[in-house]
Amino acid sequence: MSKFRREDEWKEDQVAQQGAMAAQEEEINTGQEVKPRTVYIDMDHLRPNKRNEYKMTDIENLSAMIKLSGGILQNLIVRPDEEEGYYIITTGERRWRAARLLRDQGEYPEEFHNTVPCTVSDPEKIDLPLDRDAKEDFSILVTNQYRDKTDGELFMEIQKWKKIIGKLRQAGVEYLPAGYNDGEGEELQIKGKKTRDIVAAQLGVSDRQVTRFEGVEKHASDELLDMLMADEMNLSAAETLSKLRQEEQEKIIKQLRKEKPDNFTKAVKEKVRKQEEKIAVQEEEVMSDMQMLIDLAAGKELLLTETAYKRYKRAVEQISQLLGGGRDED
């Protein structure tokens, strides 16, 4: 049996397959409405995309839905791999993994044998002045616009869209024509619009939301950004924590990793609140204050009454206790 489709119900010759691929490429390149053709490809001839940074979660529930539906209802979008006969997944990796799980459990619908429905589309054919990686990212982003996303995935998308828009601006692109999104979507204006507004429109969020992510990116430590990207912390918690100095951020992260609270966001906000109740006194400030006292006493013999001398000693003791008691606990 061909690795592309079942012989009994989807038996088409290689010319028809190539025609389907050409039609899909034409749709992307010209924006003309050409109905894409479905090609059934052996799931063992599909490979994950290294540039796809979306989370592969909830595979078991998805496999149950595929089983209940009698198969995959929405085509995967794939591109030809360098190795002949193999394809890289642009969109639909979760469906592919869920189908393989069913197959391994002996529950994948028999009529599909070992194949999944695909639309073949090569990002290299996208008519935009972008390098290969940027075209790949563009294709992945526009074909994943309508999925539910975590804060970490939104942050990842913001970074990629900014790079793509920057490259398009550098190449003098003023707008993307209607239908640039796989034959869908209205004209996308680039010239004269803020990058933040363009990104917000592509993500389907407010420009205020994009600004919040940008604020976190500007002030967060590397470890905090890694946690946001990995969805170990949501935007609300990351935004709260990023208001502290980076050393304080990392200290709180270290504490929370040990404590493993049930509600991470609430725990972050509570620790930041307690931190904000204290006024940070840096070594430089202490040294400056001490230097002021030294300057006052320099080259002089200070004569104090017994009462004043006792007040001075008490003040020194109080300062010592304040600074000693104010040290952060490890």
Whether 18 has a pLDDT exceeding 80, the answer reads no
**Of 243, 241, 230, whose CA–CA distance to 270 is shortest?**
241
Whether 2 has a pLDDT exceeding 80, the answer reads no
Banded pLDDT at 250 (limits 50, 70, 90): very high
Least confident of 25-34, 242-251, 321-330: 25-34
| Residues sharing a CB contact under 8 Å with residue 281, sequence separation 6 or more, in sequence order | 323, 326
Quote the DSSP letter at residue 54.
S
CA distance 58 to 17: 32
Residue 182, SS3 per DSSP: coil
For the chain, the 3-state helix, strand and coil shares in percent, each to the nearest 5, are: 55, 10, 35
The predicted-structure confidence for 90-120, as pLDDT tens digits, reads as follows 999 999 999 999 999 999 999 999 999 999 9
Strand 39-42 and strand 76-80: the pairing is unpaired
| pLDDT given for residue 278 in this prediction | 64
Cβ 9 vs Cβ 111: under 8 Å:
yes
CA distance 169 to 190: 7
| pLDDT given for residue 294 in this prediction | 86
CA distance 302 to 159: 63
| pLDDT given for residue 16 in this prediction | 37
Q: Which two tokens stand for residue 11?
A: 């038996």
| pLDDT given for residue 276 in this prediction | 67
| Residues sharing a CB contact under 8 Å with residue 187, sequence separation 6 or more, in sequence order | 175, 176, 177, 178
**Of 38, 44, 55, 48, whose CA–CA distance to 103 is shortest?**
44
Cβ 133 vs Cβ 164: under 8 Å:
no
**Of 154, 156, 198, 197, whose CA–CA distance to 176 is shortest?**
198
Which of the listed ranges 10-14, 100-104, 119-123 does the model predict with the highest average pLDDT? 100-104
Give the predicted TM-score (pTM) of the model: 0.70
Residue 146 main-chain phi, psi, to 5 deg: -105, 10
**What domains can you pick out in the chain, each with its CATH number?**
14-122 (3.90.1530.10), 132-276 (1.10.10.2830), 283-325 (no CATH)
320 burial (CB, 10 Å; 0-12 / 13-18 / 19+) is exposed
| pLDDT given for residue 22 in this prediction | 40
The predicted-structure confidence for 198-249, as pLDDT tens digits, reads as follows 999 999 999 999 999 999 999 999 999 999 999 999 999 999 999 999 999 9
Residue 241, SS3 per DSSP: helix
Banded pLDDT at 67 (limits 50, 70, 90): very high
CA distance 103 to 43: 10
| pLDDT given for residue 145 in this prediction | 84
Quote the DSSP letter at residue 50.
T
| pLDDT given for residue 326 in this prediction | 54
